[in-house]
């Protein structure tokens, strides 16, 4: 009986436990079903994340490609030219103060450097470039008894050669598309050469003449500024082909000189340069038009305000057998002279003209020939006398000049030239032969063996 009661109680307990578990299971079933669904969604999301994460991680971790198209320029370069010269005849009146042979006596012969350049080009970035140029352009020392009668910025007080700063500027490439900004001491747009790879012109008169080692261009010869301190825009109208362009520049009109504070060019006035150029007929024809304007002195009681301006045109036809160039300019010098007869200040009109040709004879042997004409005052009257008012360098209204040069260019290897040539200037006094101080026609004739070499370019 007791055993039966125990078995009965155990059966109830088991049934109660089963009923309780079933109830709990029924209560928990919805939760269990939801969790499974969530787990399934989570599982899919996790799988998707595992699929996408590697790609995202790979993209984020990929380094930027390095720019291998630009290699910064670090270039030391230079060139020099000079001669062994023989002065066959010197002008008796020692005219031509702007020439290399002013003051050189007849029959003198010597080895002489006429120009030494040492330059350094440095690209800070693709946008910014620095140009540095040191120059020495010495004249022969023609003094006697240890003195130095020829003394300029290229000769030290003891007559030795010295370097000075000719160019030192910063170029900002493509200030806007096709136009560079240059600030500092630089070549003016009169005739000078700019480096390829910029928006500056590379075919102005000096570069096209190509024989600066023989002589300057006609306007440079008579002291138009070749370089100056200021700021310039050098641009092309067609940046892709660079067949047409312009230069606008404002400068101190001091070149590289540090003038005194009282000098008008030291900060009171500025010079303005403008230039437009083009290449035509498949780049065979070069045309360049240049102008400048500078005020040089304020008006006084006796002399009106002084200024000068130049208008110049250069054209060259460049073909394989021959290149021919023509350069002509006129320059107005306001109140440049005073007529001693009328006692009135007068404007002076300067005119210069140059024609040249160069070409090949055989391989490595070329020829060149050039003629210049210069009239310092087309309105000069031989019946009158004049005093000079202008501070324009070496200006003398009384002397007309004609210049001749010709020679051969032997080019045994790139950047090396040997050039036998002659250099001749005829001088003619515009004054009447009865005028006090009149000097008859005369000339300076020099025979030269010129050497010219370039390195680092």
**Following CA atoms 212, 218, 219, 225 in sequence, which dihedral angle do they give, to the nearest 10 degrees?**
20
Dist CA 231 CA 234 (whole Å): 10
- Residue 212's pLDDT is 95
Which string of b and e fits 166-200 if b means at least 16 CB within 10 Å? bbebebebebeebbbbbebbbbbbbbbbbeeebbb
CA distances 308 to 173, 185, 218, 276, 292, Å, are 32, 22, 17, 20, 8
pTM: 0.81
52 exposure class (CB count in 10 Å sphere: 0-12, 13-18, 19+): exposed
- Residue 161's pLDDT is 82
Dist CA 59 CA 55 (whole Å): 6
Pick the CATH number of 74-455 from 3.20.20.70, 2.40.160.10, 1.10.645.10, 1.10.15.40: 2.40.160.10
pLDDT in tens, 91-100: 999 998 888 8
Read off the DSSP letter of residue 266.
G
**Mean pLDDT over each residue of the chain, to the nearest integer:** 84
- Residue 67's pLDDT is 65
Q: What is the residue extent of each domain of the chain?
A: 74-455
In the predicted model, residues of the chain with pLDDT beneath 50 are 1-37, 39-42, 49, 53-58, 145, 148
Dist CA 321 CA 360 (whole Å): 6
- Residue 265's pLDDT is 62
- Residue 165's pLDDT is 92
- Residue 117's pLDDT is 96
pLDDT in tens, 46-90: 555 455 544 444 455 556 666 677 889 899 999 999 999 999 999
Torsion region of 202: left, alpha or beta (phi above 0 gives left; psi -120 to 50 gives alpha): alpha
Contact 105, 89 (CB under 8 A): no
- Residue 1's pLDDT is 42
């Amino acid at each position: 009986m007791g055993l039966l009661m125990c078995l009965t109680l155990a059966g109830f307990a088991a049934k109660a436990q089963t009923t309780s578990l079933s109830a709990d299971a029924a209560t928990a079933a919805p939760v269990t079903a939801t969790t499974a669904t969530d787990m399934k969604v989570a599982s899919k999301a996790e799988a998707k994340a595992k699929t996408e994460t590697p790609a995202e991680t790979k993209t984020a971790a990929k380094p930027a490609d390095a720019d291998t198209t630009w290699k910064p320029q670090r270039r030391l370069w230079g060139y020099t030219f000079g001669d062994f010269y023989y002065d066959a005849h010197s002008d008796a009146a020692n005219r031509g103060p702007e020439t290399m042979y002013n003051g050189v006596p007849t029959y003198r012969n010597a080895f002489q450097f006429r120009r030494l350049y040492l330059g350094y080009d440095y690209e800070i970035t693709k946008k910014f470039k620095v140009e540095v140029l040191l120059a020495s352009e010495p004249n022969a020392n023609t003094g006697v008894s240890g003195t130095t009668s020829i003394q300029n910025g290229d000769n030290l007080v003891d007559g030795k050669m010295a370097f000075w700063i000719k160019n030192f500027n910063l170029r900002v490439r493509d200030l806007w598309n096709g136009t560079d900004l240059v600030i500092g001491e630089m070549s003016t747009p009169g005739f000078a050469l700019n480096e390829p790879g910029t928006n500056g012109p590379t075919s102005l008169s000096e570069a096209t003449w190509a024989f600066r080692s023989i002589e300057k261009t006609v306007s440079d010869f008579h002291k138009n500024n070749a370089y100056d301190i200021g700021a310039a825009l050098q641009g092309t109208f067609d940046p892709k082909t660079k067949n047409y362009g312009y230069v606008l520049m404002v400068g101190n009109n001091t070149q590289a000189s540090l003038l005194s504070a009282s000098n008008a060019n030291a900060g009171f006035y500025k010079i303005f340069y403008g230039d437009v150029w083009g290449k035509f007929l498949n780049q065979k024809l070069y045309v360049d038009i240049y102008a400048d304007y500078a005020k040089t002195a304020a008006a006084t009681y006796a002399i009106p305000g002084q200024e000068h301006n130049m208008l110049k045109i250069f054209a060259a036809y460049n073909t394989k057998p021959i290149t021919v160039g023509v350069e002509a300019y006129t320059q107005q010098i306001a109140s440049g002279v005073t007529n001693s007869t009328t006692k009135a200040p007068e404007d002076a009109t300067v005119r210069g003209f140059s024609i040249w040709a160069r070409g090949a004879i055989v391989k490595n042997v070329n020829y060149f020939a050039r003629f210049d004409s210069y009239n310092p005052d087309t309105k000069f009257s031989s019946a009158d006398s004049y005093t000079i008012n202008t501070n324009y360098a070496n200006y003398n209204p009384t002397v007309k000049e004609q210049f001749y040069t010709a020679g051969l260019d032997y080019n045994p290897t790139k950047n090396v030239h040997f050039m036998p040539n002659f250099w001749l200037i005829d001088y003619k006094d515009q004054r009447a032969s009865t005028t006090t101080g009149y000097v008859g026609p005369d000339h300076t004739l020099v025979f030269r063996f010129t050497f010219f070499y370039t390195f680092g370019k």
